Amino acid sequence: MGSILMGHNKSIHHKLIVVSNRLPVTVSRKKGKIKFKESPGGLATGLRSLKQKQKVLFIGWPGYIPRNNKEKIYIRDRLIKEHQCYPVFLKRSELDKYYYGFSNRTLWPLFHYFTSYSTFEEPEWNAYKKVNRKFFKEVLEIADPDSTFWVHDYHLMLLPKLIRTALPQCSMGFFLHIPFPSSEIFRVLPWRTEILEGLLGADLLGFHTYEYARHFLSSALRLLGYEHEFGAISVNNRIVRVDNFPMGVDIEKNNQLLADPEVQKETEECRKRLGKNNKIILSVDRLDYSKGIPHRLRAFESFLAKNRKWRGKITYIMLCVPSRTQVSQYKQLKKEIDRLVGNINGKFGSPSWTPVNYIFRSRPFKKLISLYAAADIALVTPVRDGMNLVAKEYVAAKKDNNGVLILSGTAGAAEELSEALIVNVHNKNEIIESIKKALTMSSKEKTSRMKVMRKRILEYDIKHWTQSFINSIIETKSIQDSREKRKLNPDWKKELMSQYQKSRKRLLLFDYDGTLISYSKKPEDAKPDNELKRLLISLSKSSSNKLVVISGRDRNTMEKWLGDIPCSMVAEHGSWIKTSQKDKWEKQAELQFPWKNRIKPILKNYESRVPGSFVEEKEFGLAWHYRNASPELGYIRSHELFDNLNEYLANTDLQLMHGNKVIEIRIAGINKGIAAQHFLKKKQWDFILALGDDWTDEELFKELPPNAYSIKIGYGPTQARLFIESPQACRSLLLDLSKI
């Protein structure tokens, strides 16, 4: 995984379709009239900036249930004509089960590590599937085969796969606004596989932080067995990239508002109202149990209890927006907060001083920013938060650098805002101490901390976020397209076959496992079947052909399995060569000091630590196979073993290789490329075909002249000229050649 992409701004040639649970326009009915209100959210702003460059269409719920069909049609028409918004209307029962139910009673608590709050109800899952399909139907109404999609958030995690199946050529990114939990938590979900598969329909999966991306990759490996290479997973031969894109705030609007005299006046008035010497602590949240509001109130209460001198000199302004009021935990939370605020104000307040100034409603952003500017301290203490934009908005609003941010380490924003006072929300004393530290911090320290954070926030703003995500979708698509061009399609096949037909001196270099035959659980089970044998015999019978099977297997197995075929063979990656059927095996390597006795115990240790893995001993090499181990344990241990051996084998004549689910150690200077030279230099070949599937075959591909047809089986990174999807496809090519 890299960090966010910084490339030039790219734009999409076709339609960009943004799909999210809520549209950027909210519909409501006031005094019998239908009203349309653009939502001020950050994402809408970022997309608005894109809108100037390309056609952007939105799909989502408008936040309103029409009273009748006539009203529905009216709303739809106006949303489409005036806002490029295509509404998905949801029934009350769908909202209950899909939105309040599966999205907010199952996924939201689970992804925020509130496992005990999660409910797992089949009917709610069914509603989630149904509504995802409802969104999909709307997508089909407006999409073209090559449209670009940007799907948002946990409400629509099944949508990418639905779209991919219907429009295989489209470009698609998905962004998750909440944390992606550790695989230990994610696996609790009974429908985890469907969710993962649903997401993997996208080309690009974006998360706020590196940690969430890592968690996702780990779940994909553990639950579906997908390995990744630098954050890229190959799903049915399609590349899916996983990366982090920390969302930013709308700096343009921020700066405009800070320069607005009305905002400045309001900031001054707020400070005056509370008294010049009175310090202001501010918090701004949706009322949600993930935001740690009670933790914060308890810490503030203890702070006042312990620090008498601050009583009357500090006011905590607590802004909460009502949210998901139909979910029971939110109702209970509201009661708890009311009680805590009441306690603090009752215990410490006086006629001239209210310690907690609690505002329970949404405020226009203009009011919010004047409060940010006025506050001495922002107290942002979520128990868990995907990003937390409030922390960033506060920093952005502190033009004079005169403020302190207290931020819990479990907010995604903490990854970028390490100059804040970072706290553990469950450690009350730490919060109390941080409040104290913030109140007494020198202005020099405040400035130096704030300056660094502001620089970062101003640079990575919402426009940057939006553009870098779009750039990355485009980039992923272009990687896929360039792969597509190298697929052995009918045109390539025609060319290859015609060259084959024209030539008389053909060298055919074939790897065995994963190329001529699929991998099986136990290496000894991958015997050649009759069809394969017939195929190899028929190819090797042509006097124009020199057929070489070039494998990492030991020579005894090769002899046993392929000895009756008139071909040449290379065993142990080149340690042994049999030039033709009638020749003897020739040793290419020298037996060295008994290195195996030293390495074997290390591999045996891994064999016992990783159930399902085993050690294979060859004449010139040792191998540790982990194909049958649990995918994640195998992946982790194989990398660990590779790193350890790499150090251990430095300055020796031994070479380490990470093949397909195997780690091999053998004598340096032996590889498939060098073995191929043995045959390459024998004649002036007029046609060369090399087939291979793993890292060890790359050594072979490297040695070939540019006009050779080198073909990789599978779609990983390769030096080969062409790709073919599977050993089966490989066989069908060979069958066609054998008929020429």
Using CB under 6 A, list all residues that contact ligand ADQ.
42, 177-178, 247, 284-286, 319, 321, 362-363, 368, 385-390, 393
Closest C-alpha among 722, 682, 716, 726 to residue 696: 716
Taking the complex as a whole, the smallest distance from the CB of residue 284 to ligand ADQ amounts, in Å, to 4
Closest C-alpha among 699, 322, 697 to residue 516: 697
Residue whose CB is less far from ligand ADQ, 280 or 737:
280
Distance CA 66, CA 75 (A): 8
Sequence-distant (≥ 6) Cβ neighbours of residue 52 within 8 angstroms: none
Residue whose CB is less far from ligand ADQ, 212 or 715:
212
- C-alpha to C-alpha distances, 667 to 131, 511, 596, nearest whole angstrom: 59, 20, 11
Residue pair 698/721 in contact (Cβ under 8 Å)? The answer is no
Residue with tokens 């696996």: 187
Residue whose CB is less far from ligand ADQ, 472 or 540:
472
Sequence-distant (≥ 6) Cβ neighbours of residue 133 within 8 angstroms: 162
Taking the complex as a whole, the smallest distance from the CB of residue 392 to ligand ADQ amounts, in Å, to 8
Taking the complex as a whole, the smallest distance from the CB of residue 239 to ligand ADQ amounts, in Å, to 25
Cβ count within 10 A of residue 341: 23
Q: How many alpha carbons fall within 13 Å on the CB side of residue 615?
A: 18
Among candidate residues 243, 288, 385, 511, the one labeled active-site is 511
Cβ count within 10 A of residue 174: 27
Residue with tokens 């203890």: 302
Taking the complex as a whole, the smallest distance from the CB of residue 361 to ligand ADQ amounts, in Å, to 7
Taking the complex as a whole, the smallest distance from the CB of residue 457 to ligand ADQ amounts, in Å, to 13
Is 694 an annotated catalytic residue? Answer: no
Length of the chain: 740
Taking the complex as a whole, the smallest distance from the CB of residue 294 to ligand ADQ amounts, in Å, to 17
Taking the complex as a whole, the smallest distance from the CB of residue 658 to ligand ADQ amounts, in Å, to 37
Taking the complex as a whole, the smallest distance from the CB of residue 459 to ligand ADQ amounts, in Å, to 18
Residue whose CB is less far from ligand ADQ, 292 or 634:
292
Taking the complex as a whole, the smallest distance from the CB of residue 41 to ligand ADQ amounts, in Å, to 7
Residue pair 251/369 in contact (Cβ under 8 Å)? The answer is no
Sheet holding 377-380, edge to edge: 356-360, 314-321, 279-286, 377-380, 404-408, 421-423
Distance CA 651, CA 638 (A): 21
Strand partners, 35: 28
Residue whose CB is less far from ligand ADQ, 285 or 698:
285
Helices (H) and strands (E) in the chain, counts: 26, 29
Residue whose CB is less far from ligand ADQ, 284 or 737:
284
Residue whose CB is less far from ligand ADQ, 286 or 313:
286
Residue 344, class by beta-carbon neighbours within 10 Å (0-12 exposed, 13-18 middle, 19+ buried)?
buried
CA 576 to chain centre: 44
Taking the complex as a whole, the smallest distance from the CB of residue 604 to ligand ADQ amounts, in Å, to 47
Residue pair 127/98 in contact (Cβ under 8 Å)? The answer is yes
Strand partners, 358: 318
Residue pair 209/246 in contact (Cβ under 8 Å)? The answer is yes
Residue whose CB is less far from ligand ADQ, 360 or 585:
360
Residue whose CB is less far from ligand ADQ, 385 or 511:
385
- C-alpha to C-alpha distances, 229 to 175, 636, 641, nearest whole angstrom: 20, 13, 18
Residue whose CB is less far from ligand ADQ, 387 or 663:
387
Residue pair 378/405 in contact (Cβ under 8 Å)? The answer is yes
Closest C-alpha among 210, 195, 181, 207 to residue 111: 181
Distance CA 158, CA 163 (A): 9
Distance CA 371, CA 363 (A): 11
Closest C-alpha among 641, 638, 640, 655 to residue 696: 655
Closest C-alpha among 664, 663, 665 to residue 595: 665
Closest C-alpha among 412, 414, 408, 398 to residue 434: 408
Taking the complex as a whole, the smallest distance from the CB of residue 157 to ligand ADQ amounts, in Å, to 15
Residue whose CB is less far from ligand ADQ, 397 or 676:
397
Active-site residue list: 511
